[in-house]
Structures are given as structure tokens and as C-alpha cells.
Amino acid sequence: MGRGWGGSTGKGGEGRQVMQSSVQEAAPVAEGGGAGTVDGGEGRGGRRRERPGRGRRFMKWSATVLAVLIVGTAGAGYLYYRHLNGNIKHDDLNLGDSKVAKPTPNAAGQTPLNILLIGSDARDTEENQKLGGAKETFGTPPRADVQMLLHLSADRSNMSVVSMPRDTLVQIPKCTDPDDDEAYPASNGRVATNQSLRNGGPGCTVATWQELTGIHIDHFIMVDFAGVVSMADAIGGVPVCVDANIESRDSQGHGSGLKLEEGTHPVKGEQALQWLRTRYGFEDGSDLARAKAQHMYMTSMVREMRENATLSSPLKLRRLAEEATDALTVDPGLDDVKKLFDLSNELRKVNPKRITMTTMPNRYVGVQVEPTEDAEKLFRLVRDDIALDGKDKKKAKAEEKLSDDPAAPDTEIGVQVQNGTSTDTLGPAGGRAGTVAGLLVDKGFTLAAADGSVVLSEDRTVVRYPSAELEGDAQRVAKSLGIPLSSVKRSTEVTGVTLVVGADWREGTAYKAPKQDDKLPDADKALNGADEDACMHVNPAFTF
């Protein structure tokens, strides 16, 4: 039976072809060693998905997709049966209009890899509907109820995983399905990020992430309810810990149904899915607690896959390969088992001690959340390939990359200047937009003008521009005032080059960029991949 939220699962290739490979011990790998190259192309091909329909939101798995990526630690041979390629479903990488440039290679010619892991709440098969419940939502469009960005550093020394709560308020961009030219308009204001999957598929979820974060995404991997169960069974169970007895069910019947006694227990199959969906019973019952439980599951799975030598068993490995390929929907850059194996070779270079998992900094807006200023700081760390564990070797200062599109003459560049000096504790500094607009006019930007209609709150001074053809103009404005190019941002919220004077420039006529802080926000809430003592706190109202 096909899994994922779309398409048939016809088998690709005639017969089977086995590429010889020695079975490797499932143990940590020394640094260095060969690795395949994974291309982040956005091409098309293969099966088309059927368009499903709407569903009630259930948090879903994304953690177990990592098992596919690191399956190379157990051995490669059985991954190369050609018929496995036919199991893998694929879809477009990015359905948005705007693209984010790939990172500049480091001195060794290496670039980071960014992979979006998506957990779909699809109920498009009887198996998915049985596992997800909600009979009235069978065959309705899924939502991207789990979203995690996996960032593999350019030098392959460390890995970061950033979760975004499913109800994060974001602007979903216009998404166009090239197969039928169906266009999904941009959201009218901010909506929950998990709705992005409805707008043509995972390619719209990728586009939404890129618009919000400015991070180039190379690949996506998506799994559904049935994929969680089959993968967990094939692996043989993942150890998880609770600090008290837990039963995730309230008097109204809400909850995942997870029931565990205090301590550490291996979970697999439907119980693994329950763990990854549990909100009622973990800590404060929020999406944030659920993301923490998912991080614990993922790190435990990584250790299990690296350390459990039983996975070198040909039968177990074959079953894992079968279930893994059948559970996935990927972009065309990962649409065969060799590409997945090449990617696993890249990921297995990272020692669990250098894996950091965190959740996007956020604040509540009613019952939903929105990114905070610290979220942009976290996104910058990922964009700049800075390790979240703070253990990067000292790097040479990166050269600021100029736009390929040259700037217009200063006298032809229109600039709107806004006052963003307001903070949580201080009111806006008076007249800042007019003062800085005057500075620009004195420097030859005769079309610069103050916009007194809005007062904003920006920690740092920023120059925004709406489209690629204005990037050079925005950079020229920044350079004239001594603003670093890292503070020049593309944004759909502006219609032209817009300079927002931030709280870091409340007075004076000379801008001095503040010292850059590269520490992870909310570092005390992050989880290290080698932490075997992590244990979920159980809400006393859900114990027995």
C-alpha cells in the first residue's frame, strides 16, 4: 500500500540490481572519509501525487525520517535494490515565486545542507485514517503539523535542528503548482504555518520557510502517520523516558492515548506515533512541550541507529530499507536510494555530541505563537553556518557578497526611512526617520524621504527591499551609511527600498554596528544529541 499523502507507488526499473558493498558496523564514524554528493536541484519527474483534502490538525512525526538519512551506518548493500526506487514518491521542491541564493562556499569549497523535515497529518489511506482518527476528515487536505529544519554545516562537523511550532503565525507566499498551473494566492495576513501544505504540497511549505528565514533549503523529506509506525517497527524500538507514569487522555477524550510507566522504555509502532503526537500530559501541554519530546525521540533514534549492531542483520536492514523508501515523499534531488545513501554518508560524519536541537524562539499571540526578535538571530546563525553549540573553530570573517544586479545611480534610488527605535522599555526616539533621511539626501540620495506614518520596533537598523532587482540599490544605501550588508534583507512587507532606523541607532549621525552576538537564544532549552539522561516531565494531571 502506498504511503504519504499522494500518488501511486508503481515500481521503478526492471528487476533488481545489487551494488556490492561491505556491511559496516553500526558504530560512530571517524571524521573524514568519503561521501557522495547530494545535489539540491529543483527538477521534476516521476509520479504525480493525487491532491488530498482538508484534515483536523494532529501533530505528527518528523523525527523518524532521520532514520532514513543515517541508515548508511548499518550498511549499504540492500539499499541498492532498484525496485526500492519505485517506492519513493516525490514532489516539487519550491512552489514559491522567490528563491533564496545558495550559501557561498567556504575556503575548502564546501557548502552547508539544509533539509526541511515535514510531518503530514494526511488521512488519505485507510491506514492513515485509522492511526490519525477523525473519520470525518478522511481524504481531506493534510497539514504540515511537524516542521523541522535540519542544517548540516559546510565542514560536516556539526548539525542543528530547528523546530517551528505548527501554529506559528506566518505569511504564506503565493505558490504555483507547475503541473496544472494552479496558483494559490498568498495568505491574507498571517496564518498558521501548518496550512502551507494545502497550497500545492510540500513545495509551498519550503517556500514559506524560505520567505520567513532567508535560509536556502536544498531538500525536503515528508512522512505520514503510517510511515511512523512502519519505520519504528523496522528499527526495533526507540528508548524514551518519562519522569512519572503518564496517560495522555483527559476527561473529554483529548490526548494521544500514550500510556507509560515512569522510567525509560523502548517505543515502536503505534506507541512511537503516540509519543510523537503527545501534547496532553507533557509539561504545560503546549506544542512547545511536544516539540521537546520529538527532539528527545530523534536524538535517541540517532544513538540507536549508530550503536545497535543488530541493524547490520541483512533481514532487518532489508525491512528498514523497504519501509523507509515506502514511507517517504521527497524532492527530485533525493528521488532514488543512491541519493538518499549519499546524503546519509554526509550526515553520519557528525558525532551526536555536535548535534543541537532547539525550537524557534516565539511568544504567544492568543493561543498561537509568532517569531520573536531572537528567532531572527537564530535564523542568522543558521544562514551564516554558525554552530549552535558554540564550539566552532575560529573562522575567518566572511566576505560580504555584493548583489549581481548593480545599483542604480544614487540620485535615482528611492528610499523610504522609518523610525524603528521603539523598544519594550523605551518609547521611539523623536525625529530619527527625518534625521537619517536628511543624511541620505546629503550623500546624494535625493529621493530619500521620511515616513512618519508608522513607528516600529527593530533591535537593529535594517534595509529591506522587495525583489531581486532592488537588492543592489538596497546594498548601496546600506554601504553609504556604514550599515553591514548582513542587515540588508529581502521582504515582502515593503514595496521599495526601506531603511528602518533601529534601537541600535537612537541618536547621532554616524552608525556603529553593535558587536555581533553568536550565542544561541534560549540555549538552556536546547537538547544535545549525546544527552542520554533527558527525560520528559509529566504533568501531574495526567499521571496514574
pLDDT digits (tens, 9 = 90+) for 328-355: 899 999 998 889 888 988 888 899 999 9
Rounded to two decimals, the pTM is: 0.71
Kindly give, in sequence order, each residue whose CB lies less than 8 Å from that of residue 233, ignoring residues fewer than 6 positions away.
Answer: 268, 269, 323
For residue 102, the model assigns a pLDDT of 86
C-alpha dihedral (42, 39, 388, 517), degrees to nearest 10: -70
Backbone angles phi, psi at 231, to 5 degrees: -65, -45
pLDDT at 122: 60
pLDDT of residue 76: 45
Contact of 84 with 325, CB cutoff 8 Å:
yes
Instruction: Kindly list the distances between the CA atom of residue 119 and the CA atoms of 52, 164, 243, 434, in Å, as whole numbers in the listed order.
Output: 15, 12, 26, 48
Domain boundaries 65-390, corresponding CATH code:
3.40.630.190
User: Could you say which of 3.30.70, 2.40.128, 1.10.3210, 1.20.1300 is the CATH number of the domain covering 410-505?
Assistant: 3.30.70
Residue 520: pLDDT band with limits 50, 70, 90: very high
Average pLDDT, the chain: 81
Q: Point out which residues pair with 274 in neighbouring strands.
A: none
pLDDT above 60 for 383:
yes
Confidence label for 506 from pLDDT (cuts 50, 70 and 90)? very high
Question: Does the structure show a pLDDT above 50 at 131?
Answer: no
- Which band of pLDDT confidence, cut at 50, 70 and 90, is reported for residue 257? very high
Domain with CATH 3.30.70 in the chain: 410-505
3-state per-residue secondary structure call for 161-197: EEECCCCEEECCCCEEECCCCEEECCCCCCEEHHHHH
Where does CATH 3.40.630.190 sit in the chain? 65-390
What percentage of the chain exceeds 90 in pLDDT?
A: 51
- Longest pairwise C-alpha distance within the chain: 75
Asked which of 95-99, 359-363, 397-401, 472-476 is least confident by mean pLDDT, the reply is 397-401
pLDDT of 403 above 80 = yes
Show the cell assigned to 440: 541620505
The per-residue pLDDT for range 85-108, each reduced to its tens digit, is 888 999 999 999 877 888 888 878
How confident is the model at residue 459, as a pLDDT? 86
Average pLDDT over residues 226-255: 86
- pLDDT, residue 441, reads 98
Phi and psi torsions of 124, nearest 5°: -95, -5
Residues contacting 252, CB < 8 A, separation 6+: none
